[in-house]
Amino acid sequence: MISKKKLLRALSTKHWERHKSPGGGWVHSWDTFGTHDGPGIRFVLFLQGCPGRCLYCQNPDTWPLKGGKLFPADKIFEKVKFFLPYMQASGGGVTVSGGEPLLQVDFLIDFFKLCCRAKIHTCIDTAGLVKSFSKEKLFKLFKVTDLFLLDIKAITPSIHQKICGFSFNQTEEFLNQLEQAKKPYWLRYVLVPGINDSAVELKKLKALVKPLQSCQNIEFLPYHALGKHKWEALKIPYPLKNTRSATQKDISRAQGIVGLVKKN
C-alpha cells in the first residue's frame, strides 16, 4: 500500500510541475477501437502516471510518469482523425484513461480543445484525483469534457484505502464538483469478491447514488486477473492471487442491491 507521505508528494502540484512539458503529455498507449470506455466506438488514450496502487490494476506499467513517451496534443489528435468515420457512425468519440489522467490536466485541456473544434465527443476515465490543480483549471477542463467515467473503489474509507492506497474523500469531492457543475458522468465500480461486494458495502453505494442528479449510469465491472502477467513481468507481487474473478451472477446481485441508473 502506498504511504500517505508518498501519496501527498505524488499529488502535489510542485511534484508534477517538474515533469510536465508545455503542450505535451506522457502517453502509455492507445486503443483505436475501444467499446468499453464510454458510448460508441472510441479512441482510448492511456496516459502515464498514477499515485494510486489499485490491487487489481491492469496496467501497473503506467504508474511511473516517465515510463511512457512524450507526445504533443496535436500529434495525438492527428492519429484520432484517422478513425473519425467509425466514431461518428457509432456515436463514439475519444476517452482518456490511465494511469490517472487528471495528473496531466494541461495536456487534457489542450487535447480536448482540438477534439471539441472537430465536434468529437470527449470523455475522461478518472478516480477524481484533483489536488494538483486549481478550480479555475478544473472549470476549463469541464468546459471541454462531455462525459466523465468516475471510478469508485468502495465507500467504506478503510476498504477504499486498502484497494487503491488513497482516501475516498478526494473521489467524493470530485463527485460533488461534477454534481455542482451539472456535468454528466457515469459511475464505475470494479466488483472484487470478498473485498467490496458485501451487501453492507453495496447498500452504502446505493445511498450515495440515490440523491445524485447528473449520474447517467452505473457500471459494475467484474474483477479479473487478466493484468496479473504485467505485475509478474515487473516483478511486483500480485496482491489478489487468491481472489476469484467476479461472475455475471455477482454483477447481477450487485445491480439488484444498488439498482440501475440510466438517464439521458
Average pLDDT of the chain is 89
Express each pLDDT in 5-24 by its tens digit. Answer: 443 344 444 444 444 445 59
Domain spans of the chain, in order of start: 4-258
- Counted residue by residue, the chain has a size of 264
What's residue 22's pLDDT? 53
Angle (CA) 135-190-129 rounded to 5° is: 15
Q: CATH: 3.40.50.2300, 3.40.1710.10, 3.20.20.70, 3.40.640.10. Which one for 4-258?
A: 3.20.20.70
Tell me: pLDDT of 28 over 60.
Answer: yes
The reported pLDDT for the residue numbered 263 is 54
What does the pLDDT read at residue 259? 85
* Mean pLDDT on 80-95: 95
At 41, is the pLDDT very low, low, confident or very high (cuts 50, 70, 90)? very high
Chain segment 130-186, per-residue pLDDT in tens: 666 788 899 999 999 999 999 999 999 999 999 999 889 889 999 999 999 999 999
| 133 or 79, higher pLDDT | 79
pTM of the model: 0.89
Lowest-confidence segment of 3-7, 208-212, 233-237 by average pLDDT = 3-7
- List, in sequence order, every beta strand (DSSP E) within 24-137: 24-34, 42-47, 69-72, 93-97, 121-126
Cβ–Cβ under 8 Å, residues 130 and 138: yes
> Residue 8 is placed in which grid cell?
501527498
Query: 3-state class of 6 per DSSP?
Result: helix
